[in-house]
Structure 1
Amino acid sequence: MRRIDVIGIGLGIFIAGGLAYLVLQAAGLDSMDAGIWSQVLLVVVLIGWLLSYLFRAVTQNMTYNQQLKDYEDAVFQKRLEELTPEELAKLQAEVEEEKSRQQKP
């Protein structure tokens, strides 16, 4: 995430909190209760974001992990394309031999 994205998200959350405060005041709450409930809303949203972040980190569904996987796949594909037909046939024979060894026990 770029620095400008973080600033934009922070500004958006700040504005959303202010709007929530104004909406709660317009709904009839006094300024103290509107402030408390807008803070509660902010804390709930932040906890939800934190839980989603932790879930993505544990399942390794993060942008970095996806970029790394894409890079590894591209390198593997390039190496396969560079193999001669003889090398490719030899590699396929080795894979088949390994599969048959794993199925025997």
Structure 2
Amino acid sequence: MRRIDAILIAFAVFVAGGIIYIIFQYLGFDAYDAGIWSQVLLVLGLIGWVVTYLFRVFTNNMTYHKQVKDYDDAFFAKQLEKMSPEEIEKLMAEKDS
């Protein structure tokens, strides 16, 4: 993620909080209650994001892990292309024993 992306996301969350506050006031909440409930929704959204992030971390479903796996797969495929059929047969025989 680039720095500008992080800044835009933070700004979007800030604006979303303001919009939620205005919506609550439009629905009839006073300023105090609208502020509390808009913060509650923002905190619940943050907790939800953290939970999904932790889930991706513990299941190794992160972009970095996918890139490393793709690189390893491509590297080993390239190595197999360079090997002769006899070398591949020998390698398979070593694997089985």
Larger Rg: 1 or 2? 1
The total of aligned residue pairs comes to: 97
The worse-fitting range, judged by mean Cα deviation, of 81-90 and 24-33 is 81-90
Q: CA deviation at 1:76?
A: 0.8
Give the match for residue 78 of structure 2: 78
Q: TM-score scaled by structure 1?
A: 0.87
Q: TM-score scaled by structure 2?
A: 0.94
Q: CA deviation at 1:43?
A: 0.5
Aligned mates of 2:24, 2:44 — CA distance in 1: 16
Moved over 2 A (4+): 92-95
State the one-letter code of the partner of 2:25.
Q
Aligned mates of 2:87, 2:27 — CA distance in 1: 74
For structure 1, which runs of at least 5 residues remain unmatched after alignment?
99-105
State the one-letter code of the partner of 2:21.
Y
* CA-based RMSD: 1.0
For structure 2, which runs of at least 5 residues remain unmatched after alignment?
none
